[in-house]
Structure formats: structure tokens, C-alpha cells
A and B are shown apart, each in its own frame.
Chain A
Amino acid sequence: MSLTLTHYLVLSAILFVIGITGVIRRKNLLMLFFATEIMLNAANVALVAISKFTGDFGGQMFALFIMAIAASEVAVGLGLLILVYKKYGTLDLDSLSTLRG
């Protein structure tokens, strides 16, 4: 039994759904960042699999650029996270709702 593209796409979809579950369910900001990383990785798996099964190198290029973007996102995001923690003393999203209409 050989692997097809669909195998990899299904695995990628499962990982992406796990990431979305994390984003919707978690209330801690750091956990939200972890879930975002999971979603980016799921996209990478799909891109590299498509790149292999179509013989096109564009998918692997885009996977590389996604990694660069993820690295810079983490650098800026962690800086902001540290600022939020210094200001409010917590990373809980529910206690950060200071804008009341």
C-alpha cells in the first residue's frame, strides 16, 4: 500500500484542526502562540507534500518563507507578551478585557 497525496493532506488537516481547537479553546496568551505554531506547521506539511507529489519546488520554497515569518512572529510576539505581563501581571485573555463599551 503506497502513500498518496491525500494521506499527507489528511494528516495536515488533522493538525490544523488541532491548532484551531487550541486557538478557540485556550485563554492563555502563550498557549495561543503554541496553537499558532501548530497551524503553521500543518500548513508546512501540506506544502511540502504537494511539492513532492507534483514535482514542483515552489512548495518547499514557500515552506521556507513560512518558517522565516514564523520566527519573526515569535520574536515580536514574545516581546509584546512580556510587555503585557509586566503591565497586567497575567496572561489570561479574560482579565485583559479593559475596553468596556
Chain B
Amino acid sequence: MEAIAFYIFGALITGLFLVTVISKNILYSMSALAAGMVLISGLFFVLGADFVGAVQLVVYSGAVMALYAFGMMFFDATRDVKEKNAPAGRIFLLSGLSALILVVIFAAPQIGKNIKPLVTGVEGANNPENIGAILFTKYLIPFEVAAVMLLVAMIAGIVLASKKMDVSLSELASDDLVGDDQTHEIKEHK
């Protein structure tokens, strides 16, 4: 049963992510990415990591994809992306890298045969209970640092995206957009 779910999820995720990488249309690419994220959370549920699966659904297929959808309002999403094909040197580099990664990952379980678990959790408690207990004891400081980092990212996102939001883009010269906030304000005060 677990194997069937794994193979179905694996095939679907691989196909959807291939569509994401290959597709010429940004909208198709984003939709395929969102569907792939949902299926990855299914993989987490198969693995018994209920909490991580739920967070995957909420954060990735909820927040991150909504953020991308909002970002796409600024870009022309219906037009096809025009790209030049990569030269042969890059493809050689790519295949070399992939081969290296495959070898390392195949070899890793053999190297790490006698790993002992450090953070085991309580026997009999379910997955979210264990996650909560460990997150607020052993990983408390990384948790707080992550919270501060999310705050910084939120402020940075607001500051970056809201720059010159009140002016129509077509009325601005291209060098008028960066780094002249103060002169702009001085002109307005006069």
C-alpha cells in the first residue's frame, strides 16, 4: 500500500516538476509547481510526518504560491517566455553535476549505516505532539531566530515592492526609479 502511494506520488511529482522546468508559459509553470507541492505533502503523509505535511500544504501551496500569484500581477504572464537554447558546454556541465549527485546520494546510505538517532521523541505520542515537544525544547533558539528572520523578510518585501507604487510606471524614465527618493521629495516640497 505504501509502495503504491510512493510510486504514484513520485511519478506525478516528477512529471509536474518537469512541466514546471520545461514549459514556456509562466502561468502553466506556476500551476504545475503548485500541484507538485501538494503532491509532495502527500509524500510526507506517507512517510508518517503529519505535521511537516500540513505545514507543506499551508506554507508552500498556500503562502508561497499566493505570493507568486501576486507577483505575477506585475509581469506579463500570458506572453510566452523567449529564451535562447543553452550551448553544449552547459549541458555537459549539467550532466556531470547530475551524475556526481546521483553517485553521492547512492553512496550515502552505505556510508551512514551505523547512524544513531539523537532526537527520538516520546514513545506513544503522535507526530505533532513530538514535533511540538522537540521544537520548543531542543530547537527553541533556532525557532526564535527563524521568527526574527521572517519579520526581516516581511519588512524587506514591503519596502522593496512598495517603492514608487503610487506613480504610474509608464510615466517614469528608467533611471528615475532607483535611488532618488530624497530628490523626489525635495521637488514635491518646493
Binding site for B on A (CB under 8 A): 1-3, 5-22, 24-28, 30-31, 33-35, 37-38, 41, 44-46, 48-49, 51-52, 54-58, 60-61, 63-65, 67-76, 78-83, 85-89, 91-92, 94
Contact = CB atoms under 8 A, between A and B. Distances in A.
A17 B115 contact: no
Interface of B: 2-3, 6, 10, 13-14, 17-18, 20-21, 26, 29-30, 33, 36-37, 40, 43-44, 47-49, 51-52, 55-56, 59-60, 63-64, 67-68, 70-72, 74-75, 81-84, 86, 90, 93-94, 97-98, 101-102, 105-106, 108-109, 115, 117-121, 130-131, 134-135, 139, 142, 146, 149-150, 152-154, 156-161, 163-164, 169, 172, 174, 177-178
B153 A85 contact: no
A64 B71 CA distance: 24
B33 to A, nearest CB: 5
A53 to B, nearest CB: 9
A60 B74 CA distance: 35
Contact of B56 (A27, A33, A44, A76): A44
Contacts of B120: 55-57
A81 B70 CA distance: 12
Contact of B21 (A8, A12, A25): A25
User: From DSSP, what is the main secondary structure of chain B's interface residues?
Assistant: helix
A14 B90 CA distance: 19
Contacts of A69: 146, 149
User: From DSSP, what is the main secondary structure of chain A's interface residues?
Assistant: helix
10 contacts: A16-B101, A28-B26, A31-B21, A35-B21, A55-B117, A57-B119, A61-B139, A75-B156, A76-B160, A82-B74
